[in-house]
Structure 1
Amino acid sequence: MAKLVALYRMPKDTEAFDRYYYGTHVPIARLVPGLKKYDVSNGPVASPTGASDYHLVATLYFDSIADIHAGLASAEGQAAAADLANFADGGVELLMFDTHEV
């Protein structure tokens, strides 16, 4: 299993972010080829010391890193990446990695 984690920093307008994210971005991102599962944080994103500067964390699941790269290289993946500029005004950090159970 491989994951792409999107860490969305606090936007200027959280309500506008949420409206756009769920109404527009999620439907675009769900079309990325190879995507197996997609979940997002629910409620505030905290750190061990309290509040964080993150508004939302999204985790997208794929079979492999190669599948993530292929998905992002596709027309659907390019559309999802291009859409980030339309709502993620606080910034977004994307992390990709393979996983294994321990």
Structure 2
Amino acid sequence: MHKLIVLYPHPADPEAFASYYEGTHLPLAAKLPGMLAWRYTLDVHAAAGDSPYFAIFEADFPDARTLGAALESPEGQAVSADVPNYAPPGTIVLDYEVKGG
């Protein structure tokens, strides 16, 4: 399995971020071809102190090739093009192969 994670720092206007993210961006992301599952939270806490992140998005793909094809697809291009409309500076996108028991 391959995972895509997006870490969003605290936005200037949390309510506007949440409204746009849930109403516009997530419906676009949900259309990524080959995606097995996705989840997100707007309620991130740190083990100690304040969390540097406001929101986290996770998506599961069967493998890196499927993720790459999804990001290059028209749906993936629409998702990427939408990011500047809401994402705060410092947003981090990670992907990795999942290993473990």
TM-score of the alignment, normalized to the shorter chain, above 0.5 = yes
Q: Which runs of 5+ in 1 are unaligned?
A: none
Q: Which runs of 5+ in 2 are unaligned?
A: none
Match of 2:56 in 1: 57
| 1:39 equivalenced with 2:28 (yes/no) | no
CA RMSD across the alignment: 1.2
Shift of 1:22: 0.3
Report how many residues are paired. 101
Q: Is the partner of 1:51 in helix, strand or coil?
A: coil
Shift of 1:42: 4.9
* Contact 2:8 2:88 (8 Å CA) reproduced: no
Shift of 1:90: 3.6
- After superposition, the C-alpha distances for 1:38-95 in whole angstroms (9 at most, x for unaligned) are 101252x222322112100110110001111110000100110111100012431000
Label 1:75 to 1:93 Cα distance change in 2 as closer, same or farther (>3 A): same
Match of 1:14 in 2: 14
Deviates more, 1:14-23 or 1:91-100: 91-100
* Contact 1:3 1:60 (8 Å CA) reproduced: yes
* Contact 2:18 2:42 (8 Å CA) reproduced: no
Q: In structure 2, how many angstroms separate the alpha carbons of the residues matched to 1:94 and 1:31?
A: 18
Match of 1:26 in 2: 26
